[in-house]
Structure 1
Amino acid sequence: IWAIYVWCRRTDELVDGPNASYITPKALDRWEKRLTDLFEGRPYDMYDAALSDTVTKYPVDIQPFRDMVEGMRLDLRKSRYQNFDELYLYCYYVAGTVGLMSVPVMG
């Protein structure tokens, strides 16, 4: 669970952290590529290695992670939502995905 939390925190910090004003859609594309690499056993650092180890030990699907990155893309594009359906989708991307990532590990 720690490895999943760290990845989520690092992902969120990209768009909400102190360097958020420097983050571009291309940076999120690179982050998503890095995600793919760690799921394929090619981590970039020790935090990625922890998640890479987790996804080899548990049936964790990459899609919720990709969806969270999509939520970060939404953070770059908009700050207000026109209706409840848009807000609900955003909530899935940035919060609901965490549950989907965690359930395979927690059982």
Structure 2
Amino acid sequence: MTPQDYVQQKAAASGSSFYYAFLFLPAERRAAITAFYAFCREVDDVVDEVSDPAVAQTKLAWWRREVAQSFAGSPTHPVMRALMPLSAAYAIEARHLSAVIDGCQMDLEQNRYLDFANLQRYCHLVAGVVGE
């Protein structure tokens, strides 16, 4: 399976309406957003599907290293291998991916926000960054 096939399957399997909206984009833009979305799904699945918080922490730490390694020129995960060739054209930077990981990290540590500022920060990390 190619990295492109992997991200396509990951995005489609999510059941999100976002995937269907991507189908209307030009091919290269569609490939970039599909890979980015697959990254988001991978990282979010760590929080949603891993019941042991220590294991989830370890997996998020692995993704942090994978992002750094990928932007240094050595991606290993199929999502990163699909995303990296398109990242410069769409100004996708390591900081964007790290922000998504930060938001998912917050999911592990907290599930309620007592003030709007922290809720707003969380929403930006897990959703706003994707819009950027």
Alignment TM-score, normalising by the size of structure 2: 0.67
Q: 1: distance between equivalents of 2:101 and 2:126?
A: 8
Q: 2:124, 2:89 → 1: CA distance?
A: 25
Alignment of structure 1 residues 56-95 onto 2, 5 Å: 56-95=88-127
Sequence identity of aligned pairs in percent? 32
Bigger CA radius of gyration: 2
For residue 21 of structure 1, what is the aligned residue in structure 2?
51
Structure 1 residue ranges without an equivalent (≥5): 101-107
Among 39, 44, 47, the residue aligned to 2:76 = 44
Q: Counterpart of 1:96? A: 128
Give the match for residue 103 of structure 1: none
Q: In the alignment, residue 46 of structure 1 is paired with which amino acid?
A: P
Query: How many residues align structurally?
Result: 98
Question: Structure 1: which 4+ aligned runs deviate by more than 2 Å?
Answer: 22-27, 56-59
Match of 1:104 in 2: none
Q: Over the residues paired in the alignment, what is the CA RMSD in angstroms?
A: 1.5
TM-score (norm 1): 0.81
**Gaps spanning 5+ residues in structure 2: where?**
1-32
